[in-house]
Amino acid sequence: MRLEFLGAAHVVTGSCFLIHTGDHKYLVDCGMYQGTRRLREMNYEPFPFNPAEIDAVFLTHAHIDHCGRIPRLVREGFVGNVYATRATCDLVRIMLPDSAHIQESDAEMLNRKNARRSEEPITPLYTQADVFAALEHFTPVPYQETVDLGNVTVTFRDAGHILGSAILEIVVREGMQESKLVFSGDLGQPHQPILRDPEQIAGADFLIVESTYGDRIHRDYDKETALLEVVRDTMDRGGNVIIPSFAVGRTQTLLYYFYNLWKEGRLDDDIPIIIDSPLAIQATRVFLKNYEEFDEETIAFFGNEGMIPAFPQVRIAETAAESRALNSAEGSAIILSASGMADAGRVLHHLKHNLWRPESTVLFVGYQAEGSLGRRLVDGIKRVRVLGEEIAVKAKIEVLDGFSAHADAVQTVEWMRAVTAPRPAKVFLVHGEGQAQEALKERIQEELG
């Protein structure tokens, strides 16, 4: 058995791991690189394997940095099944078409520029047609159920990261010998709303663990109150709160908190909360469909009202025209819009119309990859180019890191500590920048030996 690390090594994005066993090859994830231009260019590089020789793909979850190159994989010859949880299969049916739309739009825009320069046109990484072909390969697997492919078995455990996210227990059989590989996928924080906590694992020979926040410890604070303070401070200044929010997971969590604040009488009825992301709207419907995957507290909290029940100030901007109209609307509002790293989507229009306004706030509530617009704003850049226009950054930039869907260093080590015998012979750290991986490595050595 041989394991190759083909992505998310010393970077957060591009997850892709290749398992060789005998004459068979299996992929764990096949995600897109995101962030810097160099990273994005890596999505176009040839696969370091023949897609037609891959027997199956085991997908940890629906985020694009884990599934985003699967349409290209299928287009280039992959004919096997993509195994994922039922909720993940539901989510990729909205996320991959959205990704293809971005690829096609970006290629169209660049080709208009190339035509003016008499340069050769480029092709998108993949198209909507490629996505629909790829979706035919997805095979849903319930949590706790084992897929047996003969020389390999795979069991999906709840990772608590986003709806449908999974820890993969993969047992490889070679003759009389068995090796158990456990891929953490993206581990969620315990005790978060909506999702169940990451499951504990019974033994592993090899442990492949994410390290996104390997150098950080999330602040322990009242997130609802902190969120409310940002809103009130901005409303007092007469501005808008723009929240670049991941369409899957983060938007629903924020709505959960806003709903609770409203239910407690702490959030005024006259503050509009706008969901301006077609993908987030579709994702929320997928959440409703998979209500049984929520934790017991969330089900008890909402009771018969269902997840994200309507409350007075929530508005949905379904169309592009409704989205544009927000930029000329009077008064203040809270606007949740994708993408979460502010690199694409409708949020760019809201940033263009609010970054120059000192009365507005841009609130980041998730990881910002190196090279992303969100990362540059968090790092304090004073001027940025948004949709072709250079803009002075005068809005207040706020970060609330406790909303992260990733476990921090302490939580990751505690999850590893709970792995029962046999203890892993080797631990591999992935899905993290170099500094985070080194810090987590030192913590693991100090605490777990």
> Domain residues of the chain, as ranges?
2-215+405-448, 223-403
C-alpha torsion sign, points 414, 140, 142, 298: positive
Residue 232 has pLDDT above 60, yes or no: yes
Most confident among 99-113, 129-143, 244-258 (mean pLDDT): 129-143
pLDDT band at 320 (very low <50, low <70, confident <90, very high): confident
Stated pTM of the model: 0.89
- Region 326-351 average pLDDT: 92
Condensed to tens digits (0 to 9), the pLDDT of residues 33-70 reads: 988 888 989 999 999 999 999 999 999 999 999 999 99
The verdict on whether omega for the bond into residue 193 sits within 30 degrees of 0, i.e. cis, is no
Q: Which two tokens stand for residue 264?
A: 């407690």
313 band by pLDDT with thresholds 50, 70 and 90: confident
More confident residue, 220 or 419: 419
Cα torsion 331, 334, 335, 336 to 10°: value is: -170
HSE of 119, CA atoms in CB hemisphere, 13 A: 9
Which residue is listed with tokens 């990751």?
Answer: 412
Question: According to the model, what pLDDT value does residue 219 have?
Answer: 84
According to DSSP, the residues that pair with 77 across neighbouring strands are none
Question: Residue with structure tokens 């410890």?
Answer: 217
- DSSP-derived secondary structure for 7-27: ESSSSSS--EEEEEETTEEEE
Q: Give the CATH H-level superfamily of domain 2-215+405-448.
A: Ribonuclease Z/Hydroxyacylglutathione hydrolase-like (3.60.15.10)
Mean pLDDT along residues 81-86: 99
C-alpha distance from residue 418 to each of 202, 257, 409, 414, 429 (Å): 9, 30, 14, 6, 17
State residue 283's pLDDT score. Answer: 93
Residue 175 clears pLDDT 60, i.e. is over it: yes
* Comparison of pLDDT for 189 and 297, the residue scoring more: 189
Amino acid at 100: A
Instruction: Establish whether domains 2-215+405-448 and 223-403 are of one fold.
Output: no
N residues, the chain: 449
**What pLDDT sits at residue 309?**
54
Q: Is the peptide bond before 277 cis (omega within 30 degrees of 0)?
A: no
What integer is the mean pLDDT of 414-430?
Answer: 92
Q: How far apart are alpha carbons 323 and 326 in whole angstroms?
A: 6
CATH of region 223-403: 3.40.50.10890
Q: Per-residue pLDDT tens for 339-384?
A: 899 988 899 999 999 999 999 999 999 888 888 999 999 999 999 9
Q: What six digits make up the tokens of 293?
A: 């995957």
Q: Decide: residue 414, CB within 10 A, 0-12 exposed, 13-18 middle, 19+ buried.
A: middle
Q: Residue 227, Cβ neighbours under 10 Å: how many?
A: 24
Q: Which of 143, 173, 125, 159 is nearest to 24 (CA)?
A: 173
Percentage of the chain beyond pLDDT 90 is: 74
Q: For residue range 287-299, what is the model confidence (pLDDT) as tens digits?
A: 988 988 999 888 8
Q: What pLDDT, on the 0 to 100 scale, is given for residue 308?
A: 54
Q: Quote the pLDDT of residue 311.
A: 67
Task: Give the pLDDT score at 118.
Answer: 86
Average pLDDT, stretch 4-30?
96
Q: Is the pLDDT of residue 310 over 70?
A: no
Does position 304 have pLDDT exceeding 60, yes or no?
A: no
- The mean of the pLDDT values for the chain is 93
